[in-house]
Amino acid sequence: MKRIFFAALASLLFVAGCQRVPLTGRNQLMLVSSKELLPMSFQSYRQLLDTSQVVRGGASVESVREVGVKIQRAVEDYLRDNNQLGLIEGFQWEYNVVNSPQINAFCMPGGKVVFYTGILPICQNEEGIAVVMGHEIAHAIASHGAERMSQGLLSQGVLTAGQVGLGVAMSNKPQQTQQIYNSVYGVAAPAAAAIGYILPNSRNQESEADHLGLIFMAKAGYNPQAAVDFWQRMAAAAKGPGTPEFLSTHPSEGTRIRNLNRLVPKAMEYYNGQGGRR
């Protein structure tokens, strides 16, 4: 059985080819593209907002949106400088705050961002928000969700050797494809639970999101050193009762802060290039 699985995987890798992650250059399996996921993402995002208590105004909302726009512009500048603007084709950036004790935030394909109020005390200020914003947007820019969904479609047998694309997956098994999408992006929890798993970010993906996120926040004029402080606060929060949702879907290895300390000096070059000003 394992031999058949890996033979199918090798065939798919050959047929689908590999996409490279910006900055790191890592090859990733992409059976569906982030662009294909945009309509599904926009619909899910709107449904989430329609069924949540969205905070319509106030200092926290203004801060999240201000930081979001600055990092968005930094992302656009970075991708333009690297001839990769196609990665955000079709994006419709949006930033919202949802009233919930969950210590969580996310960015769906197409630049659809949500911060839960529960994570804001750990962020503390705009630089803390920029750490989370940069990290989550980096996941979207690096197509990590599409990569995890591709892995899920393969492992669940929705796509088989030689088959590529969201349209094919929806034609083969529409309900299961939707459930895998839900499991990747953490929406519609009952449907996600129906297949009994959540697809977590891999260590490679987390490292890439940390790396890219530092660059994005630094280019936006936020001190990347704040990332170390934020993750120290998050580690402290994890020692309390329960595990923050932000950590359950974003594995926090013991080496993360050490890795951030290693990455910060390079990010500081971008920060200093911006004059360290917002």
Q: Kindly tell me if the per-residue pLDDT of 199 is higher than 50.
A: no
CA 91 to chain centre: 14
Residue 102 identity? Q
Please give the order of strands across the beta sheet that includes 54-55: 54-55, 94-98, 112-116, 105-108
Three-state secondary structure call for residue 115: strand
Helices in the chain by DSSP H: which ranges? 2-16, 38-50, 59-81, 120-123, 126-141, 144-155, 166-172, 174-185, 189-194, 203-219, 226-238, 245-248, 256-273
Is residue 153 within 8 Å of residue 177, measured between CB atoms? yes
Q: Do residues 94 and 113 make contact, with C-beta atoms less than 8 angstroms apart?
A: yes
Looking at residue 116, its pLDDT comes to 96
The answer to whether residue 27 sits within a structural domain is yes
Structure letter (DSSP) for residue 202: P
Q: Which of 206, 210, 229 is nearest to 267 (CA)?
A: 210
Nearest alpha carbon to residue 227 among 262, 189, 192, 196: 262
**Inter-residue contact 76 to 205 (CB < 8 Å):** no
Q: What is the pLDDT of residues 76-108, one digit of tens each?
A: 999 999 899 999 999 999 999 999 999 999 999
More reliable by pLDDT, 24 or 188: 24
Between residues 76 and 242, the one the model is more confident about: 76
4-8, 93-97, 136-140, 157-161: least confidently modelled range: 4-8
| Residue-level pLDDT at 40 | 85
d(CA 184, CA 199): 5
* 100 CB-side CA count, 13 A: 19
Q: How far apart are CA 118 and CA 39, in angstroms?
A: 28
CA gap 96, 65 in Å, rounded: 7
Which of 27-36, 185-194, 220-229 has the largest mean confidence? Answer: 220-229
pLDDT for res 230: 95
Query: Crossing angle for the helix pair 203-219 and 144-155, nearest 10 degrees?
Result: 160
Average pLDDT over residues 20-43: 79
Q: Would 217 be classed as within a structural domain?
A: no
To the nearest 10 degrees (0 to 180), the angle between helices 203-219 and 256-273 is 30
Question: For residue 26, is pLDDT > 70?
Answer: yes
**Cα(112)–Cα(245) distance, integer angstroms:** 18
pLDDT score recorded for residue 158: 53
Tally of domains in the chain:
1
Q: Which two tokens stand for residue 104?
A: 């969580």
The token pair that represents 187 in the structure block: 């929406």
Contact 117, 188 (CB under 8 A): no
Pick 11 or 19 by higher pLDDT: 19
Instruction: Look at residue 268 and tell me if it is in a domain.
Output: no
> What pLDDT is attached to residue 73?
97
Task: Specify the higher pLDDT residue, 74 or 30.
Answer: 74
Task: Find the helix packing angle between 126-141 and 203-219, rounded to 10°.
Answer: 120
Has residue 240 been placed in a domain?
Answer: no
Residue 4 lies in a domain: no
Please check the confidence at residue 211 and state whether its pLDDT lies above 90.
yes
252 — pLDDT class (breaks 50, 70, 90): low
Flag whether the pTM goes above 0.85: no
Residue 7 lies in a domain: no
Domain containing residue 25: 14-200
Q: Give CA–CA dist 267/270, Å, rounded.
A: 5
**pLDDT of 227 higher than 90:** yes
Instruction: Answer yes or no: is 189 within a domain.
Output: yes
Residue 145 in domain:
yes
